[in-house]
Structure 1
Amino acid sequence: MDVPQPRFSDQEIARIAERIGRPVVLVGMMGVGKSSVGKRLAGLLHWNFIDADDEIERSARMAIPEIFDTYGEGYFRDGERRVIARLLEDGSPTVIATGGGAFCNPATRQLILERAVAVWLDSDVDTLVERTARKDNRPLLRDGDPREILAKLRNERAPAYSQAPIHVVSANGPHTQTVNRVLEGIAQWL
């Protein structure tokens, strides 16, 4: 794991963390780095990190691919919305990584926009293909060419993601660079 070398001093990061006043939620496509960036961002802010997908699996007592196979995507999205609502309920200082489709659900998106600071992590399709190939737990990539599926999903989801007030590009390279860009985006937004 690369150790973030922030462009901000510890004091500046502490001031940013204090001013945010609500959770930071990372949204974007699968493979964009929401969990990796989120863990590093939470560490810098001295906040908790929560991966919404892990919480969904814990609540359902099933892996996400099993939920999709057994109940379908609609059922999964409803459970996802309920879990994210619970995670945002108390407004505690937390960085939350969501699943790729979470912010596309209008009810979930509204919850996040009202109760948190949404950060859209974006990436080009080549980077998404390379990163998603590392894991075989992506239900939406099972039936077809991953590049075509990811390009189609990215185009379909961009209008929803663009509603996040902060947009950060996650390019190939150390996640440290993306973490720094997220901090810069939050500081400008504040």
Structure 2
Amino acid sequence: MAPSVCLIGLPGSGKSTIGRQLARLWGVDFVDSDHVIEAQLGCSIKEYFSAHGEQAFRDVEAQVIATLATRERACILSTGGGAVLRPENRAVLHAHTTVFYLQSSPEDIARRLRNDTGRPLLQGDDTLKRLKDLLAVRAALYEETAHYRIDTLRCGTGQVMRKVSMQAELAGLVPELSPTSAGSAASPR
């Protein structure tokens, strides 16, 4: 099985944006677990959440994560922000992919997502408070799952991508993924 890179972090931390760019750079597939889930469900996550609740969604998410993390072909996998809530997801991601935690501040994310209506857990009047609450629950889970932590504070998309790419190169992943690499530094866990 080829090595895959997985991006985790709070909703809005840049996982999909960075993932797409890394996949292009390295010439591998980009897979967004939320898009795979929506295709499987035949509706949006928001609609499924409303109709069936979070627990039913997390059941589907766990099945999709297990399949994607163990696929034969290398990819950049972006997960939903809550994928780390289930122990089985944390275990399969850590064991079968190289996991990068995109560590973003709730304040930065709230500013970026102020007009976003597609994220069910961030709806309501106080997105910043909700993000802080999510981080309080999930921060240790992100840390437990990740092989590397990438601090995104005051970084543009290109800077974050270079940090992930450099750490992947240092870890010996880039030659296995593709002959292309780029650089900057990241902090190992």
TM-score normalised according to structure 2 size: 0.85
Unaligned 5+ runs, structure 2: 173-189
Structure 2 match to 1:138: 119
Q: Match for 1:171: what amino acid?
A: L
2:30 to 49, 52, 55: 49
Structure 2 match to 1:15: none
C-alpha deviations, 1:25-53, integer Å up to 9, x for none? Answer: 10000010000000001111110101110
Structure 2 match to 1:8: none
Secondary structure of the equivalent of 2:30?
strand
1:102 Cα offset (Å): 0.2
Q: Match for 1:182: what amino acid?
A: V
Structure 2 match to 1:176: 158
Q: How does 1:11-160 map to 2 (within 5 A)?
A: 21-160=2-141
1:91 Cα offset (Å): 3.4
1:84 Cα offset (Å): 1.4
Structure 2 match to 1:3: none
- What is the CA RMSD across the aligned residues, in angstroms? 1.6
- Higher relative contact order at CA 8 Å, sep ≥6: structure 1 or structure 2? 1
Structure 2 CA distance for aligned equivalents of residues 186 and 89 of structure 1: 19
Q: Match for 1:72: what amino acid?
A: G
Structure 2 CA distance for aligned equivalents of residues 53 and 114 of structure 1: 21
1:171 Cα offset (Å): 3.1
1:156 Cα offset (Å): 1.2
Unaligned 5+ runs, structure 1: 1-19
Q: Match for 2:26: what amino acid?
A: L
TM-score normalised according to structure 1 size: 0.85
C-alpha deviations, 1:83-135, integer Å up to 9, x for none? Answer: 11121233311001100000221111111011111110011111110122242
> What is the total number of aligned residue pairs between the two structures?
171
Structure 1 match to 2:181: none
C-alpha deviations, 1:143-183, integer Å up to 9, x for none? Answer: 44111110111121000001201100223443110000101
| Identity of matched residues, % | 30
| 1:121–1:170 CA contact under 8 A, matched in 2 | yes
